[in-house]
């Protein structure tokens, strides 16, 4: 029998809870170690999953020669240092989004990946949902023709993740841009076929988040008043092929979320042969731009709740089959460049060119 990949997970808080079932379902991988700086969390979660190897220091876990794959689920500030250390130690690395808050760190991770010859993957689980997979397959058939414009948003109304890892720049690198903007931006660039972004005009706002009595509707949690990240951002992005994108993200906005939930996320793509909307996957195909149109909805498989698990399964499969990373860091670099450009444009009040 072929030996399974030994996985060590760093940061076993909220999101790790969605990775663990993925590793458990993979025929190619097995979790052998957990790491968390909080001993209470480390022992509670390790006991739950019967994991004997427990570390409070990530670098000790990374040094363990038994570990083949390191799965990084810590706050953003630790992504680059731990990924680079793990790659240098000869491990494959799956890293939560954002791969890193800045393009400079992503470039360092790519260099470490190149030196190691191992795989590095960003955990962009939206790509692994059934609706995204179905739409991507349709777009790869050229259904929309030349995609020349996109509108993408991920808008929450009073739904702020109040944990320190999200609301202080030193831990996160930014607010909703970095937290949820990376999801919709990554999905949009992937669907558009990764045109190269060349410039961005952006604004950020923090008008509601510091108001007295502001709370997050998730558990009616008060919002710490000393947080230093934006609550809203909007951007206009130009690509080298002439295509454009309008992006909007928020944790707090007086937005009417359809269905009364806490979050409205949509992507609209417009091409010469048709248009498409995600996540409903409505297709608007047109043989005559003004007269004939056809509305269809792509058939979706019943559930995409396992998208997080699917990304772990896909990563293990890629490693054992010698295939490329399912979400390579090169595809996270333009995401980081756009968001970095958005922040720089918001600060300068001008459009910025992206290198
Ligand atoms: N893909 C998604 O939909 C999604 C959703 C939520 C969070 N995330 C990402 O996952 C990461 C973690 O977010 P979360 O919601 O799980 O946060 P969390 O606060 O719930 O969990 C983080 C865990 O990491 C531990 N930790 C912190 N610093 C550490 C260190 N230096 N070494 C070891 N352990 C450390 C904490 O004690 C905690 O248990 C972030 O990068 C976030 O952007 C992704």
Substitution site in 18, 21, 60, 74 for ligand 1 pocket (most atoms within 8 Å of beta carbon): 74
Separation of first and last alpha carbons in the chain: 48
Nearest CA to ligand 1 atom 8: 15
- Establish whether residue 38 lines the binding site of ligand 1, counting it when its CB lies within 6 angstroms of any ligand atom: yes
How far is residue 141 from each of residues 144, 145, 288, measured CA to CA in Å?
A: 9, 9, 19
Q: Nearest C-alpha to atom 5 of ligand 1 is from which residue?
A: 15
8 lines ligand 1 (CB under 6 A): no
State phi, psi for 265 to the nearest 5 degrees: -125, 130
Q: Is the pTM of this model over 0.85?
A: yes
CA angle 16, 303, 283 (to 5 degrees): 120
Assess whether the C-beta atom of 144 lies below 6 angstroms from ligand 1. Answer: no
Residue from 17, 48, 75 whose mutation best tests the ligand 1 pocket (most atoms within 8 A of CB): 75
Whether 5-126+307-325 and 127-304+336-353 share one fold: the answer is: no
Distance from the CA of 132 to the center of ligand 1, in angstroms? 24
CATH of domain 5-126+307-325: 3.40.50.720
Mutate to test the pocket of ligand 1, among 96, 101, 335 (most ligand atoms within 8 A of CB): 96
User: Which atom belonging to ligand 1 lies closest to the Cα atom of 15?
Assistant: 16
User: What is the position in ligand 1's atom list of the atom closest to the CA of 165?
Assistant: 19
CATH of 127-304+336-353, one of 3.40.30.10, 3.30.360.10, 3.30.1370.10, 3.40.50.300: 3.30.360.10
Q: Are 210 and 225 in contact (CB under 8 A)?
A: yes
Per-residue pLDDT of the chain (355 residues; tens, 9 = 90+): 678 999 999 999 999 999 999 999 999 999 999 999 999 999 999 999 999 999 999 999 999 999 999 999 999 999 999 999 999 999 999 999 999 999 999 999 999 999 999 999 999 999 999 889 989 999 999 989 999 999 999 999 989 999 999 999 999 999 999 999 999 999 999 999 999 999 999 999 999 998 877 778 777 788 898 999 999 999 999 999 999 999 999 999 999 888 878 899 999 999 998 899 999 888 887 665 544 455 666 666 555 558 999 999 999 999 999 999 999 999 999 999 999 999 999 999 999 999 7
Q: How far is the CA of 36 from the centre of ligand 1 (A)?
A: 10
Contacts 24+ apart (CB under 8 A), 310-313: 310/22, 310/125, 310/128, 311/22, 311/94, 311/121, 311/123, 311/124, 311/125, 311/127, 311/128, 312/19, 312/22, 312/23, 312/25, 312/26, 312/29, 312/71, 312/94, 313/22, 313/25, 313/26
Domain extent listing, the chain: 5-126+307-325, 127-304+336-353
Six token digits for residue 78: 């630790």
């Amino acid at each position: 029998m072929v030996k399974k990949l030994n996985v060590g997970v760093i940061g076993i808080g909220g999101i790790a809870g969605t990775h663990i079932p993925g590793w458990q379902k993979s025929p190619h991988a097995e979790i052998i170690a957990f790491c968390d700086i909080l001993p209470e969390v480390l022992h509670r979660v390790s006991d739950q999953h019967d994991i004997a190897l427990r570390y409070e220091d990530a670098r000790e876990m990374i040094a363990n020669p038994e570990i083949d794959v390191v799965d990084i689920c810590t706050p953003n500030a630790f992504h680059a240092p731990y990924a680079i250390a793990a790659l240098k130690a000869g491990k494959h690395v799956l890293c939560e989004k954002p791969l890193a808050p800045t393009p400079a760190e992503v470039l360092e991770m790519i260099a470490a990946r190149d030196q190691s010859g191992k795989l590095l993957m960003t955990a962009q689980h939206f790509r692994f949902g059934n609706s995204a997979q179905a739409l991507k397959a349709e777009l790869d058939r050229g259904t929309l023709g030349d995609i020349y414009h996109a509108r993408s948003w991920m808008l929450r109304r009073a739904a702020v993740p109040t944990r320190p890892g999200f609301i202080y720049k030193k831990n996160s690198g930014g607010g909703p841009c970095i937290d949820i903007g990376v999801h919709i931006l990554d999905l949009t660039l992937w669907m558009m076929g990764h045109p190269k972004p060349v410039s961005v005009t952006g604004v950020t706002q923090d008008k509601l988040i510091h108001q007295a009595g502001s709370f997050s509707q998730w558990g009616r949690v008060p919002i710490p008043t000393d947080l230093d990240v934006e609550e809203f951002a909007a951007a206009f992005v130009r690509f080298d092929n002439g295509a454009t994108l309008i992006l909007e993200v928020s944790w707090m906005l007086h937005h009417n979320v359809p269905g009364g939930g806490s979050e409205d996320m949509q992507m609209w793509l417009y091409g010469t042969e048709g248009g498409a909307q995600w996540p409903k996957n409505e297709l608007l195909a047109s043989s005559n731009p003004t007269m004939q149109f056809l509305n269809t909805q792509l058939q979706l498989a019943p559930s995409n709740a396992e998208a997080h698990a699917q990304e772990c399964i896909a990563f293990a499969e890629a490693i054992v089959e010698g295939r490329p990373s399912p979400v390579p860091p090169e595809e996270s670099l333009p995401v980081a460049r756009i968001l970095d450009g958005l922040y720089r444009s918001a600060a300068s009040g001008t459009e910025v060119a992206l290198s």
